[in-house]
Structure formats: C-alpha cells, structure tokens
Amino acid sequence: MTLPSWLRTLATFLFILSTNLTTTNADADFLDVRTSLNNDRSGKGGDPKDKYFHESTFHPHYDGRFAQQEVDKEERLPHLTALMQTFLSTMTDIGAETWIMHGTLLGWWWNQKILPWDSDIDVQVSESTISFLAKYYNMTEFHYLLPGVKKGRTYLLEVNPHYIIRDQRDNLNVIDARWIDTENGLFIDISTMRPDEARRKEGIEGALMVKDKHLYLERDIFPLRDSYFEGIHVKIPFEYSSLLAEEYGQKALTTTVFEHHKFNDTSKIWEPQTGIIDNRKRPAKLKPAKPP
C-alpha cells in the first residue's frame, strides 16, 4: 500500500485556518470538527478541564469525535499503514522533521512495518518543529487519494495548545499533537523532544526530555538516520538499538514469538498463530529511560 510519488503530488491540501489553537486553551470541541457522528464519544466529560486531548469512551487509541467504535481487527492494520504513510509524506512535503519512537520503532526493527497487534503509532519532533506546525498547520486537513479508497481519505493535524509548557509536571498534556484519521478516529501521537535544562544545570551535557517522563541524551537521538517504514522514507534515532533495549528489554529485539504471532525469518512477516505460548512479556506501560 505504498504511496507512489504521483499520488503524493495529487494529495489535496485543504488549509482550514479556523480557530488558532496556539493562542487559546480551549479544545477543538465535537461540534467544530465532527464529520458524521451525532454523539460525542471523545471521553471529554470524565477528564480534568486542563486536559486537551481525550481518549474515546470505547478505546484509548481512538478519537471519539470521529468514531463511535473500533474498526474491525482485520481492517485496522491497513488503516494504520495509510495513517503512517500519509503522515510521513505530509511531513516531508511541508519540511517538518520527525522520527519514529517506542513501539513504532520496534516494528521498524523487525521488518520496517507496524507491529500487527499494535493499535497506536508514536513519533517525535523537536521544539522548533512543533512550533512550526502550530503556527502554520494547526487544524489543517489533508486529503489524500489512496489506492482502493473511493474519494480518498482526510486527515487532521491538531496541535495541543499546551505544547508551549515545557515542564514534565504537565502530565495531562504529554502529547503535543495528533495526526487523526477523520473517518475512523485512529491517530498518531506526536510528542516533542526538548532540552532538559534541569539536568543540563547538573552538568549532563546534551540532556533531553519528553513530557511523558522519558529522558535522553542528544547523542542517543542525533544525528538521525535515514531508513524506510511502510515503504516511505523515515527518520530513526541514531542509537536505535540501545534505546529499544532500554525501553523494552533486550529480548524484545530477538524473541520471535509474541502476542500470538511468530516471526517468519524467510518472509520477514509476523504470522498469526493459534495455541502458541508467548515467551516474552509485553510491558504494562512505557518505561522512562534511566538518566545517565
């Protein structure tokens, strides 16, 4: 499902410059952005008032302003693939640097594809990039003509106005932006890599941090390496293997049985298996990197 160059050039950019969310703490509510739903399933009602992005009432990896239920399991991966391809193509076209991280980077490690059991995608950007996206592209819709998709599909780039807060104590807004499929509510989480001034004052050269409590060093991330993911050019962190081992454990890079799938070394595909016993544990949540 790779997007060829001619399709990228056909991507229609619909610059909807309505509410500039970089200057207000109000969120883009259901009535402003809904496409086909009559009821808001964003989960906003149960969240603290200072939280900007809301997880849907039916699944944490869906935006309930655009969907009221999960897509079928068989259809989820093609939707996520298109989500990733269109995001990377768009960032390249507008000149915004981004790189993949966390479980998405682990998928790249194995076969340069999204892990078939995943339902989320994680990418990171720099402070200068998130500021650029907020200033020029916040609340912009991008319409892509996709193979086999009648009339194409529309994606929304939405920036959290709290991105200007650099403190890790802002734990309600650790996601700085999202790339959202307005048809089914699936999204990519975009977080910002920032200088860690506190650790730098302690003498830790090149200390970096993300608001989700992950700690890094510049030499872990930069210079970014070039590769491919889902058939599209992508950037990955320089010390990708050590970052993955620190986050998920060394076995995650070598164990070929996981989540009722077995990795086929010949086809380079995670194949579903029945009656199989997984021999490594999935982490309950992402672990913050240990400071040096």
Kindly tell me if the per-residue pLDDT of 265 is higher than 50: yes
**Inter-helix orientation angle 102-111/240-248, to 10°:** 120
Question: What is the average pLDDT value for the chain, to the nearest integer?
Answer: 85
Half-sphere exposure of 132 (CA within 13 A, CB side): 12
Q: b vs e for 35-52, b when ≥16 Cβ sit within 10 Å of the residue's Cβ? A: eeeeebbbbbeeeeeebb
pLDDT for 11-23, tens place per residue? 443 333 333 333 3
User: How much is the average pLDDT of 253-274?
Assistant: 95
Question: Predicted confidence band at 198 (pLDDT cuts at 50, 70, 90)?
Answer: very high
Kindly tell me if the per-residue pLDDT of 289 is higher than 80: no
User: How much is the average pLDDT of 25-53?
Assistant: 67
Alpha carbon 145 to its chain's center: 21
Q: What does the DSSP 8-state code read for residue 165? A: -
pLDDT for 227-254, tens place per residue? 999 999 999 999 999 999 999 999 999 9
How much is the pLDDT for 56? 78
Residue 63 gets the label, from left (phi > 0), alpha (psi -120 to 50) or beta, of: beta
pLDDT for 87-107, tens place per residue? 999 999 999 999 999 999 999
pLDDT for 41-84, tens place per residue? 666 777 888 899 988 787 888 998 888 889 998 899 999 999 99
User: How much is the average pLDDT of 190-204?
Assistant: 97
